[in-house]
Amino acid sequence: MSVIPKPSVPAPNIIRCASMELVVTDLAKSREFYVDVLGLVVTEEDENAIYLRSLEEFIHHNLILRKGPVAAVAAFSYRVASPEDVDLAEAYYKELGCRVERKKDGFVKGVGDSVRVEDPLGFPFEFFYEVDHVERLVWNYERHSAGALVRLDHFNQVTPDVPRGRKYFVDLGFRVTEDIKDDAGVTYAAWVARKATVHDTALTGGDGPRMHHVAFSTHEKHNILYICDKLGALRISDRIERGPGRHGVSNAFYLYLRDPDGHRVEIYTQDYYTGDPDNPTVTWDVHDNQRRDWWGNPVVPSWYTDASRVLDLDGNLKEIVKREEPSELEATIGADGFSYTRKGDKEQGFKLGNTL
């Protein structure tokens, strides 16, 4: 696949991942999952769409559920630092030869002047600055549940050629915080950030463009355990796909759920600070069975294979390009569903009693 050139115009100053627009096939069922079970707050809703936000958010929404015929993702939205950065985003993607649309009144409720693009990796990206402010519910503990989702943390995107995508994100001003590689130089995944956490989005190697997951953060590990208990009590434990556990990459505590359409949602907490310009990149060996789960628990195959389709700017499903390099599933998971333990770990090993 061809290298994506760096445009001559400066990249827009991106602040953070801000919102995702999900197309869902049954709005009532999705509302039940995101509002009644997970506790996201409804900012606004009508018969076609529900605008949701997390408890610490002050902008209009972090998630839009829009009714449609096929489950898919309509937009990955980023907030930029100023109105001029929306102009820069428009010029940047035009120079890349991408399809670009600008709407001064915004594409969705609550957001003003914005640009939507079909980016070089095939994803529908949006950039905006103008947005309606709403009440920030940080102190409204009467509205917090034990599993309170407080912030949108990151997106995760499936793309066939991770190094190609990584260069595109670095040109766009992202820092690479972590990645997964093998000795032969194959890259399986990369995590890239604008805000001072491990990521605003990550690239997972696979057939794409597809959306792997959208992640919301909660404050503490016990909040994640409460969500598991609640799903059990509601007899919908089959929505749990992977976890709870501790990631190797990012060191965050995690849980992956599947919504009524199969869209994957991660609940995430307690990664580390990455805001310095010389923050070092952490590289993990694909054969290190603690990379994706620090306790060495197996990753279910569906986590590697399943992902949501994405839409072009006309609302049509984007065509999928196959990954040519080996998938992480083939590289690491045996017939029993378990990954291999990295050779040499025993020699490095720990000595009982020397930790404190």
Q: Which residues make up the interface to ligand XXG (CB under 6 A)?
A: 154, 156, 202, 215, 247-250, 252, 266, 268, 291-292
Instruction: Determine how many CB atoms are found less than 10 A away from the CB of residue 226.
Output: 16
Considering beta carbons, is residue 7 or 244 the nearer one to Fe ion?
244
Quote the least distance from Cβ 257 to ligand XXG, whole Å.
Answer: 12
Nearer to ligand XXG, 175 or 247 (CB): 247
CB-nearer residue toward ligand XXG: 22 or 202 = 202
Contact residues toward Fe ion (CB under 5 A) are 156, 215, 266
Three-class SS of residue 144? Answer: coil
Quote the CA–CA distance of 117 and 162 in Å, as a whole number: 20
Among ligand XXG, Fe ion, none, the one that 72 touches (CB under a kind-dependent 5 to 8 A) is: none
Give which of ligand XXG, Fe ion, none residue 258 binds (C-beta under 5 to 8 Å, depending on kind).
Answer: none
224 binds, among Fe ion, ligand XXG, none (CB under 5 to 8 A by kind): none
User: Which of ligand XXG, Fe ion, none binds 339 (CB below 5-8 Å, type-dependent)?
Assistant: none
Residue 44 pairs with which residues in a beta bridge? 51
Query: Hey, which residues does 245 pair with through a beta bridge?
Result: 254
Q: How far is the CB of 242 from Fe ion (least distance, A)?
A: 11
Which sign, positive or negative, has the C-alpha torsion 198, 98, 262, 186?
negative
Closer Cβ to ligand XXG, 116 or 292, answer by number: 292
- The residue among 179, 155, 156 whose CA lies nearest residue 167 is 179
Residue with Cβ nearer ligand XXG (107 or 304): 304
Could you tell me the smallest distance in angstroms from the CB atom of residue 295 to ligand XXG?
11
Q: Which does 190 bind (CB under 5 to 8 A by kind): Fe ion, ligand XXG, none?
A: none
Distance CA(39)–CA(78), nearest Å, equals 23
Question: What is the smallest separation between the CB atom of 91 and Fe ion, expressed in angstroms?
Answer: 31
In angstroms, the Cα distances linking 28 to 4, 48, 214, 260, 328 are: 41, 10, 20, 10, 36
Contacted by 292, from ligand XXG, Fe ion, none: CB < 5 to 8 Å by type: ligand XXG
Q: Which is nearer to Fe ion, 74 or 215 (CB)?
A: 215
HEC assignment per residue over 265-329: EEEEECCCCCCCCCCCCEEEECCCCCCCCCCCCCCCHHHHHCCEEEECCCCCECCCECCCCCCHH
Q: Please tell me the distance from the alpha carbon of residue 285 to that of residue 356, in angstroms, as a whole number.
A: 28
